[in-house]
C-alpha cells in the first residue's frame, strides 16, 4: 500500500465517521484531493488508489498537471487495453481575467467565482466541444479581511446572473472561513454557509437548485460535514505537508 493510498483510506475513514456522527450518508460527501505544489506522480498515485477529483489553486501549475495526467491516461489505456478512469479537475484558487481562457479550456469545475466579469469570460471562452463548466460561487462567509469571495448579501444576485450564462452550470457555494478555536465554533461558521445555501435555494430564483456546498479542509472536515458540506477539500492529510 502506497503512502498516498493509505492516507486516502484514512481520510475516507474520517469522512465516514463524521457522516455517521451527523446522521448523513457518506455517499453524499465527495472528497476533493487538493494537489497544489505536488507533482504529477503524486496525482497518479492518488488516481491509481481510486481518487477522481483533484483541486488546484495555481492555474498554470494545474494546467501542467492536467496535461501530464492526460498523457499518462493515454499511455495506460494503450498499455492495458482498457479506458482510463475519468478525472475531474477543480480550480479552487483566485481567477484573474488574463487566466480565464486557461481555466475554461482545461478545468471541469471552478469553485472560486466571485465576480460577474470572470463568470462571463469563462462562459464565452469555454470550448463548445467540452461539457459546460461547473461553477461554485466563493463566499467570504466570516468577513475575513484577507479572504477572497462575495459578502453573503451579494451572493443571490450574482447566482441569478451566473445561472443564466450559457456555458456554465451553477452548482453551489464554496467558502474558506478563518480557522475556528474549537469544533463548536467551526460548526457555527460552516452552518452560516449552509443557511445561505438553503435560503437561496428556497427563494426559488434559480431555474435549478444548487446541489454542492464545498466546505471543510484537513483540519475542519468533521465540522463541515456536521454543518452539511457535500464536498471537502483535503490536501495535507493525503499528500503530506507542503514545503
* Domain residue ranges of the chain, discontinuous segments joined by +: 3-239
In this predicted structure, what is the pLDDT of residue 1?
A: 55
| C-alpha to C-alpha distances, 101 to 25, 56, 63, nearest whole angstrom | 37, 16, 11
Q: Provide the 8-state DSSP code for 62.
A: H
Report phi then psi at 32, rounded to 5. -105, 115
* First-to-last C-alpha distance (Å) of the chain: 24
User: Cβ–Cβ contacts within 10 Å for residue 75, how many?
Assistant: 11
pLDDT bucket at 147, cuts 50 / 70 / 90: confident
Comparing 89-98, 128-137, 138-147, which segment has the lowest mean pLDDT? 138-147
pLDDT band at 161 (very low <50, low <70, confident <90, very high): very high
SS3 128: coil
Quick: pLDDT tens for 198-216: 999 999 999 999 999 999 9
pLDDT at residue 2 greater than cutoff 80: no
Class of domain 3-239: alpha beta
The answer on pLDDT for 243 being more than 70 is no
What pTM was computed for the model?
A: 0.96
DSSP class of 150 = B
User: Which residue, among 219, 187, 192, 181, has the nearest Cα to 22 in the 3D structure?
Assistant: 187
Rounded to the nearest integer, the mean pLDDT of the chain is: 96
Amino acid at each position: 500500500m502506497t503512502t498516498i493510498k493509505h492516507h486516502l483510506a484514512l481520510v475516507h475513514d474520517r469522512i465516514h465517521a463524521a457522516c455517521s456522527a451527523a446522521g448523513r450518508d457518506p455517499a453524499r460527501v465527495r472528497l476533493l484531493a487538493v494537489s497544489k505544489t505536488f507533482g504529477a506522480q503524486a496525482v497518479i498515485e492518488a488516481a491509481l488508489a481510486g481518487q477522481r477529483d483533484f483541486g488546484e489553486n495555481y492555474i498554470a501549475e494545474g494546467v501542467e498537471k492536467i496535461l501530464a495526467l492526460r498523457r499518462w491516461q493515454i499511455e495506460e489505456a494503450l498499455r492495458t487495453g482498457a479506458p482510463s478512469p475519468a478525472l475531474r479537475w477543480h480550480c479552487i484558487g483566485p481567477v484573474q481575467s488574463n487566466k480565464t481562457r486557461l481555466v475554461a479550456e482545461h478545468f471541469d469545475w471552478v469553485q472560486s467565482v466571485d465576480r460577474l466579469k470572470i463568470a462571463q469570460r469563462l462562459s464565452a471562452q469555454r470550448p463548445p466541444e467540452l461539457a459546460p463548466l461547473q461553477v461554485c460561487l466563493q463566499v467570504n462567509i466570516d468577513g475575513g479581511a484577507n479572504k477572497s469571495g462575495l459578502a453573503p448579501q451579494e451572493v443571490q444576485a450574482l447566482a441569478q446572473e451566473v445561472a443564466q450564462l450559457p456555458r456554465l452550470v451553477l452548482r453551489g457555494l464554496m467558502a474558506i472561513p478563518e480557522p475556528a478555536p474549537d469544533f463548536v465554533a467551526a460548526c457555527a461558521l460552516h452552518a452560516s454557509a449552509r443557511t445561505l445555501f438553503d435560503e437561496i435555494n428556497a427563494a426559488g430564483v434559480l431555474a435549478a437548485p444548487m446541489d454542492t456546498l464545498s466546505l471543510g479542509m484537513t483540519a475542519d472536515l468533521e465540522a463541515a460535514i456536521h454543518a452539511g458540506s457535500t464536498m471537502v477539500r483535503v490536501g495535507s492529510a493525503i499528500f503530506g505537508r507542503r514545503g
